Every structure is written in C-alpha cells, then in structure tokens.
C-alpha cells in the first residue's frame, strides 16, 4: 500500500470475469487483462512505478518479467495477488469495474 500512496499504479492483469467477482479496492487501478495486453502496452506509464497484480501473482510475474527489458524496470509484482491482498485485510470490492478503475481496451464493436 505504501507504493500506491507514493504514486505507483496498480495494473490488474486478471481477466474481466475474474475482476467482476472481486476487484482491488484502491483509488486507481488499470485493468489490463493479460489476454489483451499486447495491443495496449503503450497505455502503460513509464514515468511512475507499476505494481503488477493478478489472482495469485503468477500471471503478473509473467508480464512483469516480459516487460522488464522494454523499460518497465520500476515495476514490481504483487506476490500472492488479490488472494494475499484480501488475506492481509486490504480493501477488496465485489463486482465489476468501479469508478476508480480504467480499462486499457478498444471500444466494443458498435460503440
């Protein structure tokens, strides 16, 4: 939480159905499902630290390791993911994307 207070961005790489079940209850979250990440990497800030997050820490570690050589060297992995986050008593909210979340995604067809 200290990194978030100091301006880091939490990037949730879980799939949208997972986020619909439980979301990080923090002020700012960038929703970037791993399956959609390739086309949206330009939306990631390079001027501030990133905290990669997923359910257990495995997928977030995967994207963090892949992007480290591309200049995302101020990024860290949230070990244990949202599971460890919730167990630590940190804020989790139920259901969907809230006001504090923004998505890195193209508009749905027809919009």
Per-residue pLDDT reduced to its tens digit, 5-38 = 999 999 999 999 999 999 999 989 999 999 998 8
Per-residue pLDDT reduced to its tens digit, 65-91 = 999 998 888 999 999 999 999 999 999
The residue annotated as part of the active site, out of 11, 54, 63, 78, is 54
User: Is there a contact between 52 and 32 (Cβ–Cβ < 8 Å)?
Assistant: no
Class of domain 2-37+47-93: alpha beta
Q: Where are the beta strands (DSSP E) in 1-111?
A: 9-12, 23-24, 29-31, 50-53, 75-77, 92-93, 101-103
54 is annotated as an active-site residue: yes
Q: Would you list the domain boundaries of the chain? A: 2-37+47-93
Taking the model in full, what pTM does it have? 0.84
């Amino acid at each position: 939480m200290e990194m978030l207070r100091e301006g880091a961005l939490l990037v949730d790489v879980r799939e949208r159905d997972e986020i619909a079940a439980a979301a990080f209850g923090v002020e700012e979250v960038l929703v970037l499902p791993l399956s959609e990440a390739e086309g949206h990497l330009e939306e990631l800030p390079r001027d501030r630290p990133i905290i990669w997050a997923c359910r257990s820490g495995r997928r977030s570690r995967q994207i963090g390791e892949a992007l480290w050589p591309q200049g995302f060297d101020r990024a860290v992995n949230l070990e244990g993911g949202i599971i460890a986050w919730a167990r630590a008593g940190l804020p989790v909210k139920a259901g969907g994307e809230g006001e504090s979340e923004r998505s890195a995604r193209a508009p749905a067809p027809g919009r």
